[in-house]
Structure formats: C-alpha cells, structure tokens
Chain A
C-alpha cells in the first residue's frame, strides 16, 4: 500500500515538474490560436499580393526589420511597411510561417516562427512582438533573418 502511495507521489511530481517547466512564460490556448490565425492570415495576404492586408497586421507605429542583408533594413510605421510590401509583392512566391515558440512578456506576446519562402528558396526565422489593440493582436515589432 505504502509503495503504491510512493509510486503515485512520484508520478504526481513528474507531471507537476513537466507542467511547471512549460508554464513559465506560457501563453493561454486562446491567445495561441489567435496568433496562429494571424500568422496564417498574414501568409495568405502575402501570397495573394495584398500589401495593405499584410501591413494591417502591424500597429501604426510598428517597426519591421529584415536582417538577412549585410545591413539591417528597417521599415518604420505601417505606411512604410505597406509600401515595402507593395514594392516587393509583384512576385511574392509562396511564403509559409510555422509557429515554433510563444512567450508571454507581460501583456504582450513574443512569437518565434520559422518560415519557408518557396520562390526565394530560403528558410528563415522571424521574431514578432504582438500587442493588444482593442480586440486584436497587432505586431509592434518584427525581425526576420
């Protein structure tokens, strides 16, 4: 009987430790689904040559930084981001982002994605800071490499 209790306690500790390891900076399931939905929507907008829809995912004062060139290429503000995508989108190719990590940072969320651009033939990563604006999550800052 005692052995059973010890075994149960051990199992409980195992499950609890696993949960604690995951809970630090954990993002609730609903927020996760919302961010996943936005990532999908952003990829669709990009793949449908819609720069306004891509830029609509950003806050008005957002910064987007491309880090794959020898020098950082930053677009500051939603209009500049929209303009950049308008310039790039005539032959966008297929872009798909896969969410690989979410961290809660206070009221905001840091999302790390891995992306694949079929036409450019490259893989990369993006780090996005999502903030709450009204009922929506918007990107306040994004870095892609």
Chain B
C-alpha cells in the first residue's frame, strides 16, 4: 500500500516536473514574453490596416528583413527600405496577417522569437525574429519570413 502511494506521488511529481524542465531550458521572463507578444500584435494591426509605417515602426533603424520566398535573397536593409517594400506590397495586395508566437528564447540581451503566421491570401509559414532592447521597448533587428 505504501509502495503504491509512493509510486503515485513519484508519478505525479514526474508529470509536473518533466514538462517544466523541458520548458525552462528556453525560459524567458513572462513579462518579456508579453512585451514581445504586444509588439507582434502592434505590427500585425498596422499590417492589417495597410499601414506600412505602423507595421514597420517596431523595427530598429538598421533592421534587416528577409522574405525568403522572394528572388535574389529577399533582403531589405534599414527601416526605411523595409517600410517602402511593405508599402508597395500592401498597395498592390492588401492582406490580413495573423501571427502566433510559439517560442521565445533568450540570446544574451536579445530575444529570438519564433512565430507561425498566416496571410489571408493563403500563405502560411514561420517567422524568426531577433528582438533587441531600444530604450524601453523591444524592437526587431532581424526577421526572416518563410
């Protein structure tokens, strides 16, 4: 009887602790995660209103954005170039974007965020974003859309 009870307790502890350990390896402060989610939401809202300035306001001035489905590498460097490209895209093909944050990982004082996205014109994929702290907000320094 005692052995059974001990086994049950051990099993419960295992079920609670193991997933926690698996997650802790990539632990980010929940507040930081909320801030990253808010940044994603803000950018997506701008995109969904076809507002290129708003959807790229979360980028650093020297950010690099890669659209992997484009030819010749698909890179745009600098916030202005990224905004210009977004404006051209939204003017010719306005779409809605939904992103779901699936993983956040600390890399020194920056954050690597992986999210899943879906455009209303049917494109689905992932985006890997590097966030850095600028003043009191997280800004996108590099993003790779696939």
Contacts and interface: CB of A to CB of B under 8 A. Distances in A.
Interface of A: 3-4, 6-7, 9-11, 13-15, 17-18, 20-22, 24-25, 61-63, 65, 67, 71-72, 74, 76-77, 100-101, 103, 105-106, 108, 110, 112, 123-125, 127, 129, 140-141, 143, 145
A93 B110 CA distance: 25
A105 B80 CA distance: 28
Given A6-B4, A112-B107, A145-B107, A106 B126 contact: yes
Contacts of B132: 67
Contact of B142 (A67, A105, A125): A67
B62 interface: yes
A84 B114 CA distance: 28
A129 B146 contact: yes
B35 interface: no
Contacts of B25: 100-101
A124 B62 CA distance: 20
Contact of B144 (A3, A10, A76, A129): A129
